[in-house]
Amino acid sequence: MSAARLLAGIAIAGLALAGRALAGTPDAAAIARQGNGHGAAPCASCHGADGGGQPAAGFPRLAGLPAAYLLEQLDDFAAGTRRNATMQPVAAALSEPERQAMAAYYGKLPAPASPPAAAAAPADAALQAQGKALAERGRWSQGLPACEQCHGPGGVGVGQRFPPLAGQSAVYIANQLHAWRGGTRRNDPLQLMQAVAAKLSEADIAAVGAWYAAQPSTLGGGQQP
Ligand code: HEC
Ligand code: HEC
């Protein structure tokens, strides 16, 4: 066989392989818009076309969250270590490659430009001040660290493990803190958030939710190391 024919043969084999890889890669944008056709409803119907979520309904924003964090959450919903009646059946209906594709897709979407409209409603000033104090200083008398120590200045998130809170829905933030207190979210391997949530009162939960929902999300996103 001539060198030219050998090269052509290799090129054709390469193309065939690339074609197969493409056919086997889930189309994340299509799943977001239309669902996967075997049980997973369109993500956009709850999380918004831009991945910004629906704050008042407690549907979180996914756009710009770290991909590794998103994948872990989808795996945990599917496995049942994170319980939620709405999201568990969706995650369980996604194959593993589909969960990976969805996590990568939302991780790359830009964070919505400003706090969602529903979160921008002028919140009570005293509530905001209490939220800011917890976020930036914590409460050392109780051994409660500042949220910023793990979630970064302004709550923009740190690396792949500490998700952003800035611009996230206040309803959703409160739901998560209640889920840790009630034991329905126990997927954090180090139990860091169980310890934090146990030290928060109802007023604290309302305050940090209001504070973070009003912070700009654009400083962070999934692009940090
Ligand atoms: C019927 C509404 C609905 C649909 C459809 C839906 N979700 Fe969700 N999703 C939710 C709700 C509600 C939560 C919050 C659950 C909770 O409070 O723990 C959530 C949470 C999540 C989270 C966790 C986010 C975080 O910050 O921890 C991820 C990841 C997620 N959804 C991905 C998806 C993907 C990917 C799809 C599409 C394949 C999808 N969702 C479709 C309602 C939905
Ligand atoms: C010691 C580190 C640490 C501190 C301090 C901390 N967090 Fe977290 N937080 C985490 C980790 C780690 C996760 C991700 C858990 C997981 O992987 O499921 C998280 C997740 C969350 C989430 C879920 C976000 C989402 O998208 O689902 C909320 C809400 C939250 N934290 C709120 C707070 C608030 C409010 C404070 C301050 C009162 C705080 N955290 C302080 C480590 C911390």
Burial class (CB in 10 A: 0-12, 13-18, 19+), 208: buried
pTM: 0.89
pLDDT digits (tens, 9 = 90+) for 200-223: 999 999 999 999 999 988 654 444
Among the residue ranges 5-9, 186-190, 197-201, the one predicted with the least confidence is 5-9
If pLDDT is split at 50, 70 and 90, which confidence band does 38 have? Answer: very high
Minimum-distance ligand 1 atom for the alpha carbon of 58: 12
Measure 87 CA to ligand 2 centroid, in angstroms. 19
pLDDT digits (tens, 9 = 90+) for 49-91: 999 999 999 999 999 999 999 999 999 999 999 999 999 999 9
Minimum-distance ligand 2 atom for the alpha carbon of 76: 18
Which contacts qualify for 179-188: CB closer than 8 Å, 24 or more apart?
179/82, 179/83, 179/84, 184/82, 184/83, 184/84, 185/82, 185/83, 186/81, 186/82, 187/72, 187/73, 187/76, 187/81, 187/82
pLDDT at 2 over 70: no
The better pLDDT of the pair 197, 21 is held by: 197
Q: In the chain, what are the domain boundaries?
A: 27-108, 117-213
Measure 148 CA to ligand 2 centroid, in angstroms. 10
Indicate which residue's Cα is closest to atom 31 of ligand 1: 87
Average pLDDT over residues 160-189: 93
Q: Which residues line ligand 1 (CB under 6 A)?
A: 31, 40-41, 43, 45-47, 58-60, 62, 65, 70, 73-74, 84, 86-87, 90, 94, 102, 163, 175, 179
Can 27-108 and 117-213 be said to share one CATH topology? yes
For the 27-108 domain, the top CATH level (class) is mainly alpha
Average pLDDT over residues 118-129: 71
User: In CATH, what number does 117-213 get?
Assistant: 1.10.760.10
